[in-house]
Amino acid sequence: MYGLSEEDLQIQARARGFADELIPFEEQAERSGGELKADVHAAHAERARELGLAATNMPKDLGGGGCTALQQVLVQEQMGRVTNALGWVATTPPSWLPAVATPDQIERYVRPAVAGEREECYAITEEGAGSDVDAIEATARPDGDGGYLLNGVKWHVTSYNAADFAFFQGKLPGGEHAMFLVDLPSPGVRVVRTPQYSHTIGHHHPIVAFEDVRVPAANLVGAEGDGMAFAYEWFRFERMMVAARCLGAAERLTAEMTAFASARVVGGQPISEYGLVAGMLADSLTELFAARAMVYETARGIDRGTDVKVSHAQCSMAKLYASEMAGRVADRAVQVFGGRGYMRENVAERFFRELRVERIWEGTSEIQRMIIARQLTKRGPAALA
């Protein structure tokens, strides 16, 4: 199905097998704030690397998998079948970075990130700037010594607790955006607070203050004024990967609720035979099929070298549709499981909470719709779909 090559099927099977190895750890993670014991987590990360599932998005000459966009989707789809972000050990380091990094940055950041020795986090969003990244107030002022002084308070900095470097986006005195690499810990960087979120994962999203953080010019990414371009490129990639993980979540939920509905007898018959329940199963599978076809085709377009603006709109469509589809599937799954679906030990309950953010981060559903509509009015439907 889906015209996958032999190589595609192999990496898909490896990822599926690995996801099946992770699933038994979900409840333990749920009970312990998303954390597994350090040695267990390290073993999972090592296994992901051994299986060629980490850094699939990075070039081979830097130690990455050099996989096609479709293969990256196939891997992340399987990781999406696992709750509590246990699949994040199949890392996706910043694939936009090698093209713009200096040789020194490649050695200090890119190669170690690919090898799993370093981990990044993104400090872009602020209290007054989420959807509208241009509204950031963080500043990057030349320090008179060839370096920069960074200031700003960043929100929702995912994985800050696991990261040893951050991408910090700030505005130069002229108002242009610039992106910097900040080693962690660094003098002047501190956690303001670590709020609790709906999901239970080991990666936290603290509010982080950067106060007169001094970085050398060697830590500027690309040129001054390039900051926004990097964010857009990363959004395209991440939106497709969000969509891929949503496919995996929807598949797992559809499989689990179908198995339950076939076995659960109420009023003398399996609930799957009640039309109202059967409808929920059928709608979930149908929407999964549609979303998967869309996401795979979007990835294939990228592999064919589709115009970047067309791909940008298609990644938005894939993220919009797959995340909303997975949310509907999770809602139905809770319903099909009945009271059990409201228990944290149940996969539907965990996904019901975890999938909500897929409609918010990497650009909300409303922002995706704005992007799609803008391209639609410029190019017409035939160019995009």
Ligand X SMILES: Cc1cc2nc3c(=O)[nH]c(=O)nc-3n(C[C@H](O)[C@H](O)[C@H](O)COP(=O)(O)OP(=O)(O)OC[C@H]3O[C@@H](n4cnc5c(N)ncnc54)[C@H](O)[C@@H]3O)c2cc1C
- Residue 212 CB contacts under 8 Å (≥ 6 apart), including other chains: 149, 150, 151, 188
Closest CB 51 distance from ligand X, rounded Å: 26
Contact between residue 94 and residue 121 where contact means Cβ atoms under 8 Å apart:
no
* Phi, psi dihedral angles at 90 (to 5 degrees): -80, 80
Binding residue for ligand X (CB under 6 A) from 44, 49, 204, 205? 205
Binding residue for ligand X (CB under 6 A) from 34, 87, 93, 130? 130
- Residue 30 CB contacts under 8 Å (≥ 6 apart), including other chains: 83, 84, 200, 344, 345, 350
Closest CB 363 distance from ligand X, rounded Å: 6
Binding residue for ligand X (CB under 6 A) from 108, 111, 156, 292? 156
Closest CB 68 distance from ligand X, rounded Å: 26
Binding residue for ligand X (CB under 6 A) from 10, 100, 197, 270? 197
- 372 interacts with ligand X by CB under 6 A: no
For ligand X, how many residues bind (rule: CB under 6 A)? Answer: 18
- 150 interacts with ligand X by CB under 6 A: no
Positions 157 through 176 that interact with ligand X (CB under 6 A): 157-158
* Residue spans of alpha helices (H) in 99-226: 103-105, 111-114
Which of 227, 384, 225 shows the shortest CA–CA distance to 312?
Answer: 384
Q: In b/e form, how buried is each residue of 189-200, taking b as 16+ CB within 10 angstroms?
A: beeeeeeebebb
- 119 interacts with ligand X by CB under 6 A: no
For residue 270, whether the previous peptide bond is cis, meaning omega lies within 30 degrees of 0, is: no
Closest CB 321 distance from ligand X, rounded Å: 16
- 139 interacts with ligand X by CB under 6 A: no
Binding residue for ligand X (CB under 6 A) from 172, 370, 376, 383? 370
- 357 interacts with ligand X by CB under 6 A: yes
Closest CB 357 distance from ligand X, rounded Å: 5
Binding residue for ligand X (CB under 6 A) from 366, 373, 378, 385? 366
Contact between residue 66 and residue 60 where contact means Cβ atoms under 8 Å apart:
yes
Using CA atoms, how far apart are residues 81 and 365, in angstroms rounded to an integer? 22
- 131 interacts with ligand X by CB under 6 A: yes
* Residue spans of alpha helices (H) in the chain: 6-22, 26-31, 38-50, 69-79, 103-105, 111-114, 227-263, 275-304, 308-337, 347-354, 365-379, 381-384
Closest CB 303 distance from ligand X, rounded Å: 27
- Residue 342 CB contacts under 8 Å (≥ 6 apart), including other chains: 334, 349
- 375 interacts with ligand X by CB under 6 A: no
Window contacting ligand X (CB under 6 A); options: 1-9, 50-58, 154-162, 323-331: 154-162
User: In Å, how far from its chain's centre is CA 7?
Assistant: 24
Query: Which stretches of the chain bind ligand X, using CB under 6 A?
Result: 122, 124-125, 130-131, 156-158, 197, 205, 357, 360-361, 363-364, 366-367, 370
